[in-house]
Amino acid sequence: MTDDLLGRHRAVLPDWLALYYEDPLEITHGEGRHVWDARGNRYLDFFGGILTTMTAHALPEVTKAVSEQAGRIIHSSTLYLNRPMVELAERIAQLSGIPDARVFFTTSGTEANDTALLLATTYRRSNTIMAMRNSYHGRSFSSVGITGNRGWSPTSLSPLQTLYVHGGVRTRGPYASLSDDGFIAACVDDLVDLLGHTRAPAALIAEPIQGVGGFTSPPDGLYAAFREVLHERGILWIADEVQTGWGRTGEHFWGWQAHGQNGPPDIMTFAKGIGNGMSIGGVVARSEIMNCLDSNSISTFGGTQITMAAGLANLNYLLEHDLQGNSRRVGGLLIERLRAAAAQVPAVREVRGRGLMIGIEITKPGTDEADPQAAAAVLEAAREGGLLIGKGGGHNTSSLRVAPPLSLNVAEAEEGAAILENALRSIQ
């Protein structure tokens, strides 16, 4: 029973391992855009295991690929030639937009960002990293050290010197009142000023849309303007595409492409959705950067055959069914539906995002003050209505996160929006 499982969970797992809901949920199975709990309740899934079930639950093409690969060999490590790993690397290198790209597979987004930091600091011979305020990049020692979101940074100890840059949050902070062009100009001026007061950093790492931070983003073009400043000084740009990649934003395949006027990033990280639940992360970089390490390195579990088979099948399905286009179309309808509903709820400060990556910021009515209790109440009410969503936020904010599988159809979008509208109205 779920109650017994909760007690067992608390007895053997860390106190800081968070669970959603006052009555935590055990999900037992899923199909399409729906999941079921241990009590038989059915839910429309608008969070996908934190943006990880990217195409659909129990997608036949992926489960078949996993089953067939498991019947051959599951794992051998990177010490041996691995056909599925080479095939997926070829596809990702081509899709990345990075010239002469090399791909290294990991088991998570955290490990991917950790690897990107290793490459950048080694290539540049600098342990100084610039990161965005309100950012999140993982839970390893180095990625925690660059995370700009206090709620997800449990220690100030770090192997890196981290400098935080303005720009990741458009509607808060000292430049919020400016026009988009003015906002970009002010952030660039701040970056230039910051670089005048420090030794040359190795890189700037940035999420095109901040995930854990509440799906916040700058105006399109900010990172292109940043890249121009960085390129003049030889500083690398790392695009953290762990949450924004694979067409989720609808308008672009990668989040960085909204800022790509000055070319692709030097390094790009990915994870989450590519495996559709299997543990895949990775790094793409120009060959001169990827090959800068002068010691041996392997990955025991990164690129293992069974996860690569899943990734290939999942990527093929996504491209063949134009799920990026579906994200643009259905996501556009969903965000407009949610904005219309939120306009009647004073506690909603902003509905933002693009494609199927939508954030709803909750504040105390008439103020900019975060209201985490109200956000938690909406989360609970949505669940009671049969809808699973996420939450996040930084910069003293409370945000709900909406990120369904990219195969979401219009009827499901309407159904989820109606449930969420009722949940929002319940906090008035």
Percentage of residues in the chain having pLDDT higher than 90: 92
The whole-angstrom separation of Cα 132 and Cα 162 is 10
Q: How high is the pLDDT of residue 2?
A: 52
φ, ψ (nearest 5 deg) of residue 322: 45, 55
In the chain, count H helices and then E strands. 13, 15
Phi/psi region, residue 359 (left: phi>0; alpha: psi -120 to 50; beta: rest), is beta
89-104, pLDDT tens digit by residue? 999 999 999 999 999 9
Q: In angstroms, how far is CA 267 from the centroid of its own chain?
A: 16
Indicate the pairing of strand 236-240 with strand 203-206. Answer: parallel
Nearest to 391 by CA among 377, 407, 410: 377
Ranges 1-15, 72-86, 122-136, 362-376: which has the least confidence: 1-15
Q: What is the average pLDDT across 359-366?
A: 95
How many Cα atoms sit within 13 Å of 254 on the Cβ side? Answer: 27
The whole-angstrom separation of Cα 126 and Cα 160 is 9
371-413, pLDDT tens digit by residue? 999 999 999 999 999 999 999 987 667 999 999 999 999 999 9
Residue 176 has pLDDT above 60, yes or no: yes
The whole-angstrom separation of Cα 275 and Cα 413 is 23
Q: Where along the chain do its domains lie?
A: 2-58+323-425, 63-320
The whole-angstrom separation of Cα 421 and Cα 331 is 16
199-234, pLDDT tens digit by residue? 899 999 999 999 999 999 999 999 999 999 999 999
Instruction: Indicate the SS3 state at residue 151.
Output: helix
CB atoms within 10 A of CB 83: 10
User: Helix, strand, coil: what percent of the chain each, to 5?
Assistant: 40, 20, 40
Do 2-58+323-425 and 63-320 have matching folds?
Answer: no
Cβ atoms of residues 219 and 186 within 8 Å: no
Tokens of 108: 């998570």
Q: What is the pTM of this model?
A: 0.95
* Residue 16 DSSP symbol: T
Q: What is the average pLDDT across 125-140?
A: 95
- DSSP result, 179-210: -HHHHHHHHHHHHHHHHTTSSPPSEEEE-SSB
The whole-angstrom separation of Cα 271 and Cα 43 is 25
Q: How high is the pLDDT of residue 151?
A: 81
225-240, pLDDT tens digit by residue? 999 999 999 999 999 9
Which residues 6+ apart lie within 8 Å of 43 measured at CB? 34, 35, 36, 37, 383, 386, 387, 388
- DSSP result, 69-120: HHHH-S---TTS--HHHHHHHHHHHHHH--TTEEEEEESSHHHHHHHHHHHH
Tokens of 77: 């490590």
Residue 26 has pLDDT above 90, yes or no: yes
Q: How high is the pLDDT of residue 395?
A: 62
Q: How high is the pLDDT of residue 428?
A: 84
Q: Which CATH number fits domain 63-320: 2.30.110.10, 3.20.20.10, 3.40.640.10, 1.10.8.50?
A: 3.40.640.10
Query: What burial class does residue 11 get, using C-beta atoms within 10 Å of its C-beta: 0-12 exposed, 13-18 middle, 19+ buried?
Result: exposed
Instruction: Indicate the SS3 state at residue 348.
Output: strand
Q: What is the average pLDDT across 23-38?
A: 97
Q: How high is the pLDDT of residue 1?
A: 45
For 2-58+323-425, CATH number?
Answer: 3.90.1150.10
